[in-house]
Amino acid sequence: MNHRTALLVALVITAAPALAQETGTLKKVKDNGSITLGIRESSYPLSYLDDKQQPVGYHIDVCNRIVDAVKAQLKLPALKVQHQAVTSQNRIPLVANGTVDLECGSTTNNEARQKQVAFAPTTFVTNVRMAVKKASGITGLGQLGGKPVATTTGTTSVQLMRAHEKGKGIDFKEVYGKDHADAFLMLETDRAVAFVMDDNLLAGLIVSSKAPADYAIVGEVLNVEPIAIMLRKDDPAFKKLVDAAVIGLMKSGELDKLYARWFMAPIPPKNVSMNFPMSDALKALIKAPSDAPAESFNKR
């Protein structure tokens, strides 16, 4: 166990000294000798596949630190870590039915989802905007009338566009990608004039594209959304351990280092930097951790 892991485990034990006898997810993990992480294949730079088809990213690293805490709690240093690819459509069902123990992707914590699953303290805050080709001249929602707009199946982006004051009454055509990479490909191949999604995901897809200089992130902020690791609902022992591990990362300064690694430094596979500074909202949440839903960020 290296110094960093030992520090995290110590913080977890300090924050959660009285975790009850293993039940729920902890019992399942102990009985199986394995834990399953839900990963995304193109949610840059939170969770994606590198050039060796291995899951990497900011939230993959956060989940791996949580796994270290699970290993320590269960005294299972050889605990096997399995990866299960998930999509925007199936991620919640796969967590709820026990297939995935921790979903380490790009999931927004909102009130509707909290009725089905639980969330760790927020580890990223994103703004929903749109990516366009600069040559299109599009800068806002008002220019999308009659045009195809892409988003990813199973996300809330189109609903946010229609709900936004400037998007009301605009007759745009919805086209859906099966995942974020597929939706971006629609923009890349001119099957859509815009791709509406979390701005960090858009930035990651742009810097990883064939011609990054051809694209821009533009338009109104449709929503401010807290992104967090997802886990099963009504599992207080596991939630306590997960929360303690994430808060430990925040208090130790480790989360800041992980953020700098994935958002401010060159990342695989192209070794280019997103140059995406930490938002004031996330800085505040690191000081005062919270699992509050998106609705608390968007009170009108």
Q: Pick from 60, 62, 64: which is nearest to 43 by CA? A: 60
Check for a shared fold between 3-123+228-297 and 126-224. yes
Domain ranges of the chain: 3-123+228-297, 126-224
- Report the Cα 97 to chain-centroid distance in Å: 20
Give pLDDT, residue 164: 81
CA-wise closest residue to 230 among 29, 51, 3, 25: 25
DSSP-assigned beta bridge partners for residue 82: 36
- Exposed/middle/buried for 216, CB within 10 Å: 0-12, 13-18, 19+? middle
Residues with pLDDT less than 70, the chain: 1-21, 165, 300
Residue 163, CA distances (Å) to 15, 63, 141, 158, 159 in order: 41, 33, 12, 9, 6
Q: Which two tokens stand for residue 229?
A: 């690791």
Domain 126-224 CATH (choose: 3.40.309.10, 3.40.190.10, 3.40.50.2020, 3.20.20.140): 3.40.190.10
Q: For residue 14, what pLDDT is reported?
A: 47
pTM above 0.75, yes or no: yes
CATH number of this structure's domain 3-123+228-297 = 3.40.190.10
- pLDDT score recorded for residue 1: 55
> What pLDDT, on a 0 to 100 scale, did the predictor assign at position 7?
53
Report pLDDT for 161.
Answer: 81
Query: For residue 20, what pLDDT is reported?
Result: 41
Helices 24-32 & 236-252 angle (0-180, nearest 10): 90
Spatial CA neighbour of 73 closest among 129, 15, 126, 130: 15
- The whole-number pLDDT of residue 13 equals 46
